[in-house]
């Protein structure tokens, strides 16, 4: 099966600019996650979707970050305006079942964002 | 609440050495436990999992046993290879398939 697709792989922007990341989950996966991974740390959940509804966005900085999942498939994460501390790898993941906690996450290769 | 604590790295081993990476967790209810591996420039890949107490997950020579009494899920491999060099993350999932990750342990295996 095709894996989780993310684009772009790399992005360099200046602070206060905006940026968007795109994710296409594995076909049939109901749950989609966006994680932020700062260098040397574990992934931190930003937002979790179940189909096209939000399950958890408690750690999403909503003053600058937004995410949507159109038609319960692809998803876009946007940052506007970016800050230096947003420099990180943004990982998208999907899982087959949202209500079961036996479903492992499948990750994309991530987008490495550098804010200068 | 839910959290995962991993031993800090980096860990450097010679090829064919024995590997242990410690992981303990705090959770409500009955979580599932996972080990993920991240190679340079890539996303995380599932290495193994265990879904209930006393289960042993295994893959590619790696093993981990879900110990409820000690709230641990230590990763072990009897003989590491250079190709095992990566960052290893312990994780738990709980109600609603919400995942919590440790900070990761970097492993370097030298020939």
Min CA distance, A104 vs chain B (Å)? 7
Answer for the pair B106, A41: CB distance below 8 angstroms, yes or no. Answer: no
A42 touches chain B (CB under 8 A): yes
The reported pLDDT for the residue numbered B9 is: 84
The reported pLDDT for the residue numbered B20 is: 97
Measure CB to CB from residue A103 to each of B97, B103, B104 and give the nearest one: B97
Report how far apart the first and last C-alpha atoms of chain B are (Å, whole number). Answer: 41
**Residue B52 DSSP class:** S
| Residue-wise pLDDT tens digits, A55-112 | 999 999 999 999 999 888 999 999 999 999 999 999 999 998 755 667 889 999 999 9
Answer for the pair B72, B61: CB distance below 8 angstroms, yes or no. Answer: no
Q: How confident is the model at residue B6 (pLDDT cuts 50, 70, 90)?
A: very high
Residues 76-115 of A with CB under 8 A from B: 91, 93, 95, 97-110
The reported pLDDT for the residue numbered B28 is: 84
The answer on pLDDT for A1 being more than 80 is no
Q: How confident is the model at residue B18 (pLDDT cuts 50, 70, 90)?
A: very high
Using a pLDDT cut of 90, give the percent of chain A over it: 78
Q: CA–CA separation, A106 vs B45, rounded Å?
A: 7
Measure CB to CB from residue B32 to each of A102, A108, A110 and give the nearest one: A102
Nearest CA in chain B to A90: B43
Average pLDDT, chain B: 94
Q: What is the DSSP string of B6-45?
A: E----EEEETT--EEE-EEEE-SS--EEEEEEE-TTS-EE
The reported pLDDT for the residue numbered A109 is: 93
The reported pLDDT for the residue numbered B43 is: 87
Q: Residues A12-37: what's their mean pLDDT?
A: 95
Q: Residues A28-40: what's their mean pLDDT?
A: 92
Using a pLDDT cut of 90, give the percent of chain B over it: 84
Decide if B97 and A99 are in contact by the 8 Å CB cutoff: yes
Decide if B43 and A98 are in contact by the 8 Å CB cutoff: no
Higher pLDDT, A104 or A113: A113
The encoded tokens of residue B22 equal 């410690």
The answer on pLDDT for B86 being more than 90 is yes
Interface test with A, best of B4, B40, B43, B49 (most A CBs within 10 A): B43
Average pLDDT, chain A: 92
Q: Residues A20-28: what's their mean pLDDT?
A: 95
Q: Is the dihedral of CA B73, B74, B77, B80 positive or negative?
A: positive
């Amino acid at each position: 099966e095709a894996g989780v697709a993310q684009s772009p792989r790399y992005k360099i922007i200046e602070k206060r600019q905006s940026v968007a990341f795109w994710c296409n989950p594995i076909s049939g996966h109901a749950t989609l996650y966006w994680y932020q991974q700062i260098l040397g740390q574990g992934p931190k959940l930003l937002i979790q979707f179940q189909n096209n509804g939000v399950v958890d966005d408690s750690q999403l900085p909503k003053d600058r970050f937004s995410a949507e999942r159109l038609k319960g498939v692809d998803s876009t994460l946007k940052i506007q305006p970016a800050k230096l501390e947003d420099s990180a790898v943004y990982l998208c993941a999907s899982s087959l079942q949202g209500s079961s906690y036996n479903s492992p996450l499948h990750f994309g290769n991530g987008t490495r964002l550098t804010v200068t | 609440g839910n959290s995962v604590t991993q031993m800090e790295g980096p860990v450097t081993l010679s090829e064919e050495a024995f590997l242990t990476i410690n992981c303990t967790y705090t959770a409500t209810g009955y979580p599932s436990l996972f080990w993920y591996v991240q190679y340079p420039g890539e996303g995380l890949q599932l290495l193994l999992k265990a879904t209930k107490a006393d289960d042993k997950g295994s893959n590619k020579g790696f093993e981990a046993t879900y110990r409820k009494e000690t709230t641990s899920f230590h990763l072990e491999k009897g003989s590491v290879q250079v190709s095992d060099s990566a960052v290893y993350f312990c994780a738990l999932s709980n109600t609603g398939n919400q995942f919590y990750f440790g900070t990761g342990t970097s492993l370097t295996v030298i020939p």
